Amino acid sequence: MKILVLNGPNLNILGKRKKEFYGISTLDNINIILKDAAKKYDCQLLFFQSNHEGRLIDFIQKHAKSADGILINPGALTHYGYSLHDALVDTKLPIVEVHLSDITKREDFRKIDVFDGIVIERVMGKKEKSYEEGLEKLIKHIKK
């Protein structure tokens, strides 16, 4: 099983951002946690982060054919990334969306989620544990 793990804008500077929302873990720490979790399921993860929507789309289009699912934290693209939305739909893969903070309890603009309706699940508000839980939900869905 192969899962694409995608991270959008500003997630490359985790650990330096508002700790009350995003916690203290860096993206590298989160990726290590995910690699360890994936071993239990004999699952391969392919990681990618970009601050640019087009680069995320290019990565998806290049690697989706060989993947079984997508775990994504779109970052701010959650609220306006319609071309990323379309690229994800085009894959026809199961997708789990994760967020470190609970976007439904933050500023009004963050409550907009252009991925609502295309993801099989959203996990949020659990800091780095959102990723772990999201990965487990995605793997269980794929194995069904």
Question: Residue 71's CB: how many other CB atoms inside 10 A?
Answer: 24
Average pLDDT score over residue span 90-104: 95
**Residue 123, C-beta contacts closer than 8 angstroms, at least 6 positions apart:** 96, 97, 98, 99, 130, 131, 133, 134, 137
Examine the pLDDT at 77 and tell me if it is beyond 90: yes
**Reported confidence tier of residue 24, pLDDT bands at 50, 70, 90:** confident
Q: What is the pTM of this model?
A: 0.95
| pLDDT of amino acid 110 | 80
Average pLDDT score over residue span 68-88: 97
Token output for 132 = 């772990």
| pLDDT of amino acid 53 | 98
Q: What are the pLDDT digits (tens) for 42-61? A: 999 999 999 999 999 999 99
Three-state secondary-structure class, residue 95 = strand
- Of 38, 52, 27, the closest CA to residue 2 belongs to 38
Active-site residue numbers?
Answer: 22, 99
| Domain definitions of the chain by residue range | 2-143
Instruction: Categorise residue 117: left if φ over 0, alpha if ψ from -120 to 50, beta otherwise.
Output: left
What superfamily in CATH does domain 2-143 come from?
A: Dehydroquinase, class II (3.40.50.9100)
Answer yes or no: are the C-beta atoms of 59 and 5 closer than 8 Å: no
Answer yes or no: are the C-beta atoms of 2 and 46 closer than 8 Å: yes
Three-state secondary-structure class, residue 48 = strand
Token output for 106 = 């933050």
